[in-house]
Protein backbone atom coordinates (compact mmCIF):
# COMPACT_ATOMS: atom_id res chain seq x y z
CA UNK A 1 0.00 0.00 0.00
CA UNK A 2 1.23 3.43 -0.90
CA UNK A 3 0.81 6.49 1.28
CA UNK A 4 -1.63 9.25 0.38
CA UNK A 5 1.28 11.60 -0.18
CA UNK A 6 2.80 9.26 -2.74
CA UNK A 7 -0.52 8.98 -4.56
CA UNK A 8 -0.97 12.74 -4.68
CA UNK A 9 2.54 13.35 -5.98
CA UNK A 10 2.13 10.54 -8.50
CA UNK A 11 -1.16 11.94 -9.80
CA UNK A 12 0.12 15.49 -10.08
CA UNK A 13 3.31 14.41 -11.82
CA UNK A 14 1.42 12.20 -14.26
CA UNK A 15 -1.07 14.92 -15.11
CA UNK A 16 1.69 17.46 -15.66
CA UNK A 17 3.81 15.20 -17.86
CA UNK A 18 0.87 14.10 -19.96
CA UNK A 19 -0.53 17.59 -20.53
CA UNK A 20 2.83 19.13 -21.32
CA UNK A 21 3.76 16.41 -23.82
CA UNK A 22 0.35 16.63 -25.47
CA UNK A 23 0.49 20.40 -25.63
CA UNK A 24 3.86 20.19 -27.41
CA UNK A 25 2.59 17.62 -29.90
CA UNK A 26 -0.58 19.57 -30.62
CA UNK A 27 1.23 22.87 -31.06
CA UNK A 28 3.64 21.17 -33.44
CA UNK A 29 0.89 19.63 -35.53
CA UNK A 30 -1.58 22.51 -35.56
CA UNK A 31 -0.27 24.17 -38.75
CA UNK A 32 -0.61 20.84 -40.55
CA UNK A 33 -4.17 20.45 -39.24
CA UNK A 34 -5.19 23.87 -40.44
CA UNK A 35 -3.59 23.41 -43.84
CA UNK A 36 -5.33 20.04 -44.22
CA UNK A 37 -8.66 21.51 -43.26
CA UNK A 38 -8.35 24.29 -45.83
CA UNK A 39 -7.38 21.89 -48.62
CA UNK A 40 -10.21 19.55 -47.67
CA UNK A 41 -12.75 22.37 -47.91
CA UNK A 42 -11.41 23.65 -51.22
CA UNK A 43 -11.30 20.19 -52.75
CA UNK A 44 -14.89 19.75 -51.64
CA UNK A 45 -16.01 23.00 -53.26
CA UNK A 46 -14.18 22.25 -56.50
CA UNK A 47 -15.62 18.74 -56.64
CA UNK A 48 -19.01 20.25 -57.55
CA UNK A 49 -17.60 21.13 -60.97
CA UNK A 50 -15.09 18.31 -61.26
CA UNK A 51 -16.20 17.48 -64.82
CA UNK A 52 -15.46 21.04 -65.90
CA UNK A 53 -11.98 21.27 -64.42
CA UNK A 54 -8.90 21.07 -66.66
CA UNK A 55 -7.39 18.43 -64.32
CA UNK A 56 -8.57 15.31 -62.53
CA UNK A 57 -9.37 16.53 -59.04
CA UNK A 58 -8.84 13.19 -57.36
CA UNK A 59 -5.31 12.68 -58.64
CA UNK A 60 -3.83 16.13 -58.09
CA UNK A 61 -1.83 17.00 -54.99
CA UNK A 62 -2.93 19.30 -52.20
CA UNK A 63 -0.59 21.98 -53.47
CA UNK A 64 -2.18 21.88 -56.92
CA UNK A 65 -5.65 22.11 -55.41
CA UNK A 66 -4.64 25.28 -53.61
CA UNK A 67 -3.09 26.88 -56.66
CA UNK A 68 -6.05 25.92 -58.86
CA UNK A 69 -8.43 27.39 -56.31
CA UNK A 70 -6.45 30.59 -55.89
CA UNK A 71 -5.94 31.14 -59.60
CA UNK A 72 -9.41 30.45 -60.86
CA UNK A 73 -11.78 31.32 -58.06
CA UNK A 74 -13.08 34.71 -57.15
CA UNK A 75 -14.72 34.84 -53.74
CA UNK A 76 -17.76 36.93 -52.95
CA UNK A 77 -19.51 37.16 -49.60
CA UNK A 78 -23.22 37.93 -49.57
CA UNK A 79 -25.42 39.13 -46.73
CA UNK A 80 -28.93 37.86 -46.01
CA UNK A 81 -30.38 40.18 -48.65
CA UNK A 82 -28.04 38.88 -51.32
CA UNK A 83 -25.90 42.04 -51.32
CA UNK A 84 -22.12 41.67 -51.55
CA UNK A 85 -20.27 42.37 -48.29
CA UNK A 86 -16.76 43.78 -48.21
CA UNK A 87 -14.03 42.65 -45.87
CA UNK A 88 -15.04 39.03 -45.27
CA UNK A 89 -13.41 36.28 -47.30
CA UNK A 90 -15.93 33.68 -48.43
CA UNK A 91 -13.68 30.75 -47.54
CA UNK A 92 -13.58 31.79 -43.90
CA UNK A 93 -17.36 31.46 -43.57
CA UNK A 94 -18.42 28.44 -41.56
CA UNK A 95 -21.97 27.60 -42.57
CA UNK A 96 -22.53 25.72 -39.31
CA UNK A 97 -21.78 28.87 -37.33
CA UNK A 98 -23.86 31.09 -39.60
CA UNK A 99 -26.83 28.85 -38.97
CA UNK A 100 -26.75 29.71 -35.28
CA UNK A 101 -27.01 33.46 -35.96
CA UNK A 102 -30.32 35.28 -36.44
CA UNK A 103 -31.40 35.02 -40.06
CA UNK A 104 -30.83 38.68 -40.90
CA UNK A 105 -27.18 38.59 -39.79
CA UNK A 106 -26.10 35.49 -41.68
CA UNK A 107 -23.42 35.61 -44.37
CA UNK A 108 -23.32 33.38 -47.41
CA UNK A 109 -20.25 32.39 -49.44
CA UNK A 110 -20.18 32.45 -53.23
CA UNK A 111 -17.32 31.15 -55.35
CA UNK A 112 -17.03 32.26 -58.96
CA UNK A 113 -14.95 29.86 -61.05
CA UNK A 114 -13.52 31.45 -64.16
CA UNK A 115 -12.65 28.64 -66.54
CA UNK A 116 -11.10 28.95 -69.99
CA UNK A 117 -14.46 28.72 -71.73
CA UNK A 118 -17.11 29.39 -69.19
CA UNK A 119 -17.78 30.80 -65.75
CA UNK A 120 -19.50 28.90 -62.98
CA UNK A 121 -21.17 30.20 -59.83
CA UNK A 122 -20.73 27.93 -56.82
CA UNK A 123 -22.94 28.39 -53.78
CA UNK A 124 -23.07 26.61 -50.41
CA UNK A 125 -26.26 25.10 -49.05
CA UNK A 126 -27.00 23.42 -45.73
CA UNK A 127 -29.94 21.48 -44.32
CA UNK A 128 -31.13 18.50 -42.34
CA UNK A 129 -30.76 14.87 -43.29
CA UNK A 130 -32.14 11.92 -41.41
CA UNK A 131 -29.74 11.79 -38.48
CA UNK A 132 -27.94 15.07 -38.62
CA UNK A 133 -26.88 17.95 -40.86
CA UNK A 134 -26.23 17.63 -44.58
CA UNK A 135 -24.60 20.25 -46.78
CA UNK A 136 -23.34 20.76 -50.25
CA UNK A 137 -22.09 22.97 -53.04
CA UNK A 138 -24.27 23.74 -56.07
CA UNK A 139 -22.58 24.98 -59.24
CA UNK A 140 -24.65 27.02 -61.71
CA UNK A 141 -23.79 28.00 -65.24
CA UNK A 142 -23.61 31.69 -66.03
CA UNK A 143 -27.28 31.76 -67.09
CA UNK A 144 -27.92 31.38 -63.31
CA UNK A 145 -30.42 28.68 -64.18
CA UNK A 146 -28.72 25.48 -65.34
CA UNK A 147 -26.95 23.33 -62.78
CA UNK A 148 -23.40 22.42 -63.79
CA UNK A 149 -22.74 20.05 -60.92
CA UNK A 150 -23.26 19.38 -57.24
CA UNK A 151 -21.40 17.88 -54.32
CA UNK A 152 -22.96 16.80 -51.03
CA UNK A 153 -21.65 15.76 -47.66
CA UNK A 154 -23.18 14.75 -44.36
CA UNK A 155 -22.34 14.19 -40.71
CA UNK A 156 -23.69 10.71 -40.27
CA UNK A 157 -26.29 9.54 -42.77
CA UNK A 158 -26.73 5.75 -42.96
CA UNK A 159 -23.99 4.11 -45.03
CA UNK A 160 -25.44 2.57 -48.18
CA UNK A 161 -28.67 4.56 -47.91
CA UNK A 162 -28.61 8.26 -47.04
CA UNK A 163 -24.84 8.40 -47.37
CA UNK A 164 -25.24 7.73 -51.09
CA UNK A 165 -25.90 11.45 -51.61
CA UNK A 166 -22.15 11.78 -51.13
CA UNK A 167 -20.90 8.38 -52.28
CA UNK A 168 -22.95 7.76 -55.43
CA UNK A 169 -21.61 9.57 -58.51
CA UNK A 170 -24.77 8.58 -60.38
CA UNK A 171 -26.99 10.44 -57.94
CA UNK A 172 -24.97 13.63 -58.26
CA UNK A 173 -24.70 13.28 -62.03
CA UNK A 174 -28.51 13.47 -62.28
CA UNK A 175 -28.44 17.11 -61.24
CA UNK A 176 -26.30 18.22 -64.16
CA UNK A 177 -28.36 20.17 -66.67
CA UNK A 178 -31.40 20.61 -64.44
CA UNK A 179 -32.96 24.07 -64.27
CA UNK A 180 -33.82 25.98 -61.13
CA UNK A 181 -36.27 28.34 -62.90
CA UNK A 182 -39.36 27.21 -64.82
CA UNK A 183 -40.46 28.56 -68.21
CA UNK A 184 -42.38 31.39 -66.54
CA UNK A 185 -39.10 32.43 -64.94
CA UNK A 186 -40.27 31.49 -61.44
CA UNK A 187 -37.85 29.88 -59.01
CA UNK A 188 -38.80 26.22 -58.56
CA UNK A 189 -35.48 24.68 -57.46
CA UNK A 190 -34.72 21.02 -58.16
CA UNK A 191 -36.56 18.34 -56.22
CA UNK A 192 -35.52 14.79 -55.37
CA UNK A 193 -38.62 12.64 -55.96
CA UNK A 194 -39.61 9.04 -55.42
CA UNK A 195 -41.37 6.86 -57.96
CA UNK A 196 -41.03 8.44 -61.34
CA UNK A 197 -39.98 11.85 -62.56
CA UNK A 198 -42.81 14.00 -63.89
CA UNK A 199 -40.93 17.21 -64.59
CA UNK A 200 -37.60 16.11 -66.06
CA UNK A 201 -36.17 19.63 -65.98
CA UNK A 202 -36.69 20.11 -62.26
CA UNK A 203 -36.64 16.65 -60.70
CA UNK A 204 -34.15 13.88 -60.02
CA UNK A 205 -34.64 10.30 -58.82
CA UNK A 206 -34.45 9.68 -55.07
CA UNK A 207 -32.15 7.10 -53.47
CA UNK A 208 -34.01 3.89 -52.70
CA UNK A 209 -34.54 3.46 -48.97
CA UNK A 210 -33.47 6.97 -48.07
CA UNK A 211 -36.65 9.01 -48.31
CA UNK A 212 -35.87 11.35 -45.43
CA UNK A 213 -32.39 12.17 -46.65
CA UNK A 214 -33.77 12.70 -50.17
CA UNK A 215 -36.47 15.04 -48.85
CA UNK A 216 -33.74 16.77 -46.87
CA UNK A 217 -31.82 17.41 -50.09
CA UNK A 218 -34.94 18.85 -51.78
CA UNK A 219 -35.55 21.18 -48.86
CA UNK A 220 -31.90 22.16 -48.61
CA UNK A 221 -31.71 23.01 -52.32
CA UNK A 222 -34.85 25.13 -52.15
CA UNK A 223 -34.00 27.05 -48.98
CA UNK A 224 -30.31 27.24 -49.76
CA UNK A 225 -30.62 28.60 -53.28
CA UNK A 226 -33.36 31.05 -52.32
CA UNK A 227 -30.99 33.35 -50.44
CA UNK A 228 -28.81 33.72 -53.51
CA UNK A 229 -31.68 34.64 -55.85
CA UNK A 230 -31.45 38.43 -55.41
CA UNK A 231 -27.77 38.26 -56.36
CA UNK A 232 -28.54 36.15 -59.42
CA UNK A 233 -31.24 38.61 -60.50
CA UNK A 234 -28.93 41.59 -60.15
CA UNK A 235 -26.23 39.81 -62.18
CA UNK A 236 -28.69 38.72 -64.86
CA UNK A 237 -29.96 42.24 -65.40
CA UNK A 238 -26.49 43.53 -66.13
* Residues binding other proteins (CB under 8 A): 1-2, 6-7, 10-11, 14-15, 18-19, 21-23, 25-26, 29, 32-33, 36-37, 39-40, 130-132, 155, 158-161, 209, 211-212
Nearest distance from C-beta of residue 166 to other proteins, angstroms: 11
Residue 114: exposure state from Cβ atoms within 10 A (0-12, 13-18, ≥19): exposed
Toward other proteins, which CB reaches closer, 88 or 161?
161
Side-chain-side CA neighbours of residue 125 (13 Å): 29
Give which of 92, 160, 103, 162 is closest to 132, Cα–Cα.
Answer: 162
Nearest distance from C-beta of residue 219 to other proteins, angstroms: 13
Distances in whole angstroms, Cα of residue 33 to Cα of each of 28, 37, 38, 39, 154 = 10, 6, 9, 10, 21
Toward other proteins, which CB reaches closer, 33 or 236?
33
Toward other proteins, which CB reaches closer, 115 or 160?
160
Nearest distance from C-beta of residue 41 to other proteins, angstroms: 10
Toward other proteins, which CB reaches closer, 93 or 207?
207
Nearest distance from C-beta of residue 115 to other proteins, angstroms: 26
Q: Quote helix, strand, coil % in the chain, to nearest 5.
A: 45, 20, 35
Nearest distance from C-beta of residue 78 to other proteins, angstroms: 25
Toward other proteins, which CB reaches closer, 40 or 234?
40
> In this structure, how many other beta carbons lie within 10 angstroms of the beta carbon of residue 68?
19
Amino acid sequence: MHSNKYITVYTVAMTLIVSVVLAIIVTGLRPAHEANEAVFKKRDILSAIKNELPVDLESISDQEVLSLFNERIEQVTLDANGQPVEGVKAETIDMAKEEKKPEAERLYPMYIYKGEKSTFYLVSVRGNGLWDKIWGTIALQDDFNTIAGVSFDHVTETAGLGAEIKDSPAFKQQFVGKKIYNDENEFVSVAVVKGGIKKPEHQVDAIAGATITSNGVTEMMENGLEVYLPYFESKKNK
